[in-house]
Chain A
């Protein structure tokens, strides 16, 4: 059993997982249960962190949401749609409403920033070149890289590449943004710029974000809710800002300790400011 903060029935659910499982067959014929019977709900407008040690199944769980990995059991809903019930062509269409951001950016190296962001718009046809032009510029404006529209990825820094990847993920106006270790290849300075961009997107556009990370600092800076995964299962789940919850996993305790420390530091700063 995991501690789940009860969700007000009036809250819209953006993503719902019902008992999903994923088993991999390893090259040595052994099997690995990467995700075991996980049920999870993500509120619309939430920033939901998936944390855990490496191999805990957090990336696999994220990839089950847009079916980059085919679940062996269970059901996945995004909005009203049951993703696990869709055929191949329907799934391709549904993926328009699920943006994805990767650790290694995965931009087309031989395409300009403009063409990279335009990619998801062009593959789903029916948009005029003028519409595409406007939308690409809008998205680059959101991530603050309009001046790089004609650059190639090789000319950008890591943080800029990731922000281009975020602009690309936003191009089709997705309801949810799936982020797989988006800052793990970046230094702390550029990590901050990427996190600021993600927070901005969540606040201004209301896009629901699910973010897989092994960095607790990312959770502290960005997430409203967090699920800790252990051995393919959700070991616990809580609201990041609620110190009342009693964490049971090592990661949960560490996160709570860091949050408390940050609170204490803030309190101290406020007192110092008051007495200065």
Chain B
């Protein structure tokens, strides 16, 4: 009979940690969808050859997205501490950690949205113009409808990336499953705890990917 005392001792904390991870993901992904989504649509519409083509504005947005995305996440995490204090009132805890997570997720998702919208056939957008649709109607009734399964898969990719980013947030006391793995599994050499947390992350990733794939397939009528 293997010694399970470490694992049993960690279970209550593991439960809290899972909640913290999910909270960080929920906040980060919401910010990505609500702010990064529209930013991605804008990036697409303002881009070369599109109906609202604005080279200067597109250049600025494009530069911003690339710049934020080029920061290693751990640097962004530390660099944003003053900003995090203003937004979350503290720089410690899962809500505080969700601020840099969101900050990184917004341009990431914006880029994924832009790329997915580029796959919508030009002719379909043109047909909507020919029927007298406004830009907003084209976004809501054409682009989002035609790209919806790709967008769900983009969100899946984002969720899985940020599940692992959230582990880094442990460094600033963000908590979460990854933080638990580092504190017990790594610093205290409790290999069994490490294995348990990694196994839990593997299960979470599988669930996210499976759900994303299924939803995308159901939405795709092409």
Q: Which residues of A contact B (CB under 8 A)?
A: 66, 68, 91-96, 98, 100, 102, 104, 106-111, 119-120, 122-124, 152-154, 165, 168, 172, 178
Which among A110, A111, A123, A152 is the interface contact of B131 at CB below 8 angstroms?
Answer: A123
Q: In the complex the two chains form, is B221's CB within 8 Å of A93's CB?
A: no
Q: In the complex the two chains form, is B137's CB within 8 Å of A123's CB?
A: yes
A100 to chain B, nearest CB (A): 4
Given A119-B141, A123-B141 in contact, is the A106-B127 Cβ separation under 8 Å? yes
Report the bound CA distance from A178 to B129 in whole Å.
14
Report the bound CA distance from A178 to B130 in whole Å.
10
Which among A92, A95, A108, A124 is the interface contact of B124 at CB below 8 angstroms?
Answer: A108
How big is chain B's contact interface, by range?
20 to 34
Q: In the complex the two chains form, is B146's CB within 8 Å of A120's CB?
A: no
B90 to chain A, nearest CB (A): 44
Which among B121, B130, B141 is the interface contact of A100 at CB below 8 angstroms?
Answer: B130
Nearest A-chain residue to B142, judged by Cβ:
A108
Q: Which residues of A contact B145 (CB under 8 A)?
A: 108, 110-111
Report the bound CA distance from A57 to B47 in whole Å.
27
Given A110-B148, A110-B220, A154-B222 in contact, is the A68-B141 Cβ separation under 8 Å? no
Q: Assuming A93-B132, A107-B124, what are 4 further A-B pairs, CB within 8 angstroms? A: A100-B130, A108-B124, A120-B132, A153-B221
Q: Which residues of A contact B146 (CB under 8 A)?
A: 108-110
Nearest A-chain residue to B122, judged by Cβ:
A106
Q: Which residues of B contact A102 (CB under 8 A)?
A: 123, 126-127
A168 to chain B, nearest CB (A): 8
B67 within 8 A of A: no
B128 within 8 A of A: yes
Q: In the complex the two chains form, is B128's CB within 8 Å of A109's CB?
A: no
Q: In the complex the two chains form, is A123's CB within 8 Å of B133's CB?
A: yes
Q: Which residues of A contact B222 (CB under 8 A)?
A: 109-110, 154
B70 within 8 A of A: no
Q: Which residues of A contact B5 (CB under 8 A)?
A: none
Q: Which residues of B contact A172 (CB under 8 A)?
A: 131
Given A109-B222, A110-B222 in contact, is the A95-B126 Cβ separation under 8 Å? no
User: What are the 6 A-B residue pairs with the smallest beta carbon separation, nearest first?
Assistant: A95-B132, A106-B127, A92-B132, A106-B123, A100-B130, A120-B131
Given A106-B124, A108-B124, A119-B141 in contact, is the A95-B130 Cβ separation under 8 Å? yes
Report the bound CA distance from A92 to B137 in whole Å.
12
Q: In the complex the two chains form, is A119's CB within 8 Å of B130's CB?
A: no
Report the bound CA distance from A168 to B128 in whole Å.
11
Nearest B-chain residue to A91, judged by Cβ:
B132
Q: Which residues of B contact A168 (CB under 8 A)?
A: 131
Q: In the complex the two chains form, is A66's CB within 8 Å of B130's CB?
A: yes
B183 to chain A, nearest CB (A): 46
Given A102-B123, A104-B123 in contact, is the A124-B132 Cβ separation under 8 Å? yes
Q: In the complex the two chains form, is A123's CB within 8 Å of B124's CB?
A: no
A27 to chain B, nearest CB (A): 11
